[in-house]
A = this chain, B = another copy of it.
Amino acid sequence: MEVEAKFKLKDGVLEKIEKIARFLEEKEEYDLYFSHPCRDFAKTDEALRLRVENRIKMTYKGPKVDNETKTREEVNLLIDSFENAVRLLEFLGFKKFKSIRKKRRIYELDRAIICVDKVEGLGDFLEIELRVPEEKERIFEIARILGYSREESIRLSYLELLERLNWKV
């Protein structure tokens, strides 16, 4: 279970993070999302993704289970080949759906992970993440320190945000 809250990056927040959190790494992430052969992921609120960064990962994301955060089941698989994963999934009837590119700066603060994301075509965001479902309140406590109220939490994924942006265009 991944407990996560997302916020729009506001002025001065990055500076605050740089001051109080420990910088871990910066990386580029390329995400390719797939549609299911016989299930509408948009309706079931699920996702299947291949991610390329230093490593290559296949990830299933289950439906969100909390009404304030992006908390959801997540299963990760490290794999050895992006190309073979695409071929395998396509043979099984999954279809390439949408890709997302972002630059991600990762910090650690009080056992929580803070990601500052520059998402291509979408803008700058902040994700605070914990692997302990019981400690949701700690995420909002960190958010408060950074200047966010819990109402500012965005439950939509980058994929969903990009979809909505397309609808408006």
Contact = CB atoms under 8 A, between A and B. Distances in A.
Contacts of A158: none
B80 A48 contact: no
Chain A interface helix/strand/loop/mixed: mixed
Contact of A75 (B60, B87, B93): B87
A78 B80 contact: yes
Interface stretch (A36-44, A97-105, A107-115, A148-156): A36-44
Contact of A76 (B60, B76, B77, B84): B84
Chain A: interface residue count, which band? 20 to 34
A79 B84 CA distance: 12
A57 to B, nearest CB: 9
B85 A73 contact: no
A76 B79 CA distance: 10
A80 B87 CA distance: 19
A62 B76 CA distance: 25
16 contacts: A37-B37, A37-B38, A38-B93, A58-B79, A58-B88, A60-B87, A60-B91, A62-B91, A73-B91, A75-B84, A77-B84, A77-B85, A77-B88, A78-B79, A78-B80, A78-B81
